[in-house]
Amino acid sequence: MALRVTFVAAARGSPLLAERFDDERPLDRAGWDEVLRVAGSLLPLAAAELRYCSPTPRSRATGDALGFAPLVQLALRDCDMGRWRGLTLSEAMAHEPGAVDAWLADPRSAPHGGEPLLGFIGRVGNWLDTRPGDDRIVAVAEPSVIRAALVYVLKAPPSTYWNLDVHPLSATAVTGGAGRWSLRFEGAPAQGTTPGVFREGNPL
């Protein structure tokens, strides 16, 4: 049996337009309500042999609320955005428009002083490639982390990252093993959302 990793996107801690780089805010009331609404449909994932989460407060809270009791994985942390940490995209653009343009255009660049997109994708991909044997794994992670994982799994150009839209509390499964991953769609996703949907121009 191939290794199976199911990513569950953390519930939101703020409205989409207020999303901040390296956001450390906890779940808000709306986020908790969303988790409670979908808990029944995601509960079977708690049977996974290994249960992980990103280190962000909302990823940990989402995993705990779903009954996963997940183990924090530092490799699943969000992209290090350096001095842009805590800013929205609009705020970063207002302060450093040229640097933001360079960051969006070149996945090897890190004008914010943090981690380049290519490094972020590679870090998440390395975490996938080093998962053990034939276990079933569930990982609650930030949507950005799941987008990075999908780019890695699909062996897609890094620019594909900007065209992936991962909805909060959606579930996306990948199967296989190191260097031979496949994206798997099955069942009805949480809240009627579609995991791994491509959408133009989504820089967050």
pLDDT digits (tens, 9 = 90+) for 164-196: 999 999 999 999 988 899 998 765 444 444 333
Q: Is the pLDDT reported for residue 103 higher than 70?
A: yes
187 backbone φψ class: left, alpha, beta (φ>0; ψ -120 to 50):
left
Pair type for strands 197-198 and 71-72: unpaired
Integer Cα distance of 36 and 40 in angstroms: 8
Six-digit token pair at 125? 């991909």
How far apart, in whole angstroms, are the C-alpha atoms of residue 100 and residue 168? 25
Which spans in 43-96 are helix H? 57-65, 89-95
Of the chain, the percentage scoring pLDDT greater than 90 comes to: 71
- Return the higher-pLDDT residue of 153 and 23: 153
Kindly give the interhelix angle for 117-129 and 143-154, rounded to the nearest 10 degrees.
80
Rounded to two decimals, what is the model's pTM?
0.87
| Residue 164 contacts residue 150 (beta carbons within 8 Å) | yes
Q: Does 111 have pLDDT greater than 60?
A: yes
pLDDT of residue 18: 62
30-66 tens-digit pLDDT: 888 999 999 999 999 999 999 999 999 999 999 999 9
Element (H, E) at 175: strand 171-176
Beta bridge partners of 78: none
Q: How far is Cα 190 from Cα 49, in angstroms, rounded to an integer?
A: 21
Is the pLDDT at 202 greater than 90? The verdict is no
Q: Does position 157 have pLDDT exceeding 90, yes or no?
A: yes
Q: Report pLDDT digits (tens) over 115-145.
A: 999 999 999 999 999 998 778 999 999 999 9
Over residues 85-92, mean pLDDT: 91
pLDDT band at residue 8 under the 50/70/90 scheme: very high
> Are 174 and 148 in contact, with CB atoms under 8 Å apart?
no
